[in-house]
Structure 1
Amino acid sequence: MSNSRKSARSRRVLAATALLITAVLVAAGAIAVSTVPVLVGATIYGVVAGIVSSRLIANDLGQMRRDWAKDRADIANHNRLQAVARSKEHTAFAEQMSSRIKHKDAQIETLRDSLVTAEIDLAKTRERVSAERARVDALTADLSSAQSDVESARSDLMKANDALAASEAAEIQARAEVVAWEQSATDDQRRQHQRPA
Structure 2
Amino acid sequence: MARQIDESKIERIKQATIDLIVSKGYQNASTAAIAKLSKVSEGYLYRHYPSKHELVKDIVKSTLRAFLQDMEHLTKVSANLSEFIERYAENRCERMAKAPHILKLYGVMIHDSSFEVDSQISGRILDFCKALAQRLHEEDESSARIDYEDVYTLIFIAPMGFLNAKIKGHLPETSLHDTKKKLVNIMRRGLGLTEIS
TM bracket (short chain): under 0.3
The answer to which structure, 1 or 2, has the higher relative contact order (CA under 8 A, 6+ apart) is: 2
Q: TM-score, normalised by structure 2?
A: 0.19
Which is helix-richer, 1 or 2? 1
User: TM-score, normalization: structure 1?
Assistant: 0.19
Give the structure with higher Rg (CA): 1
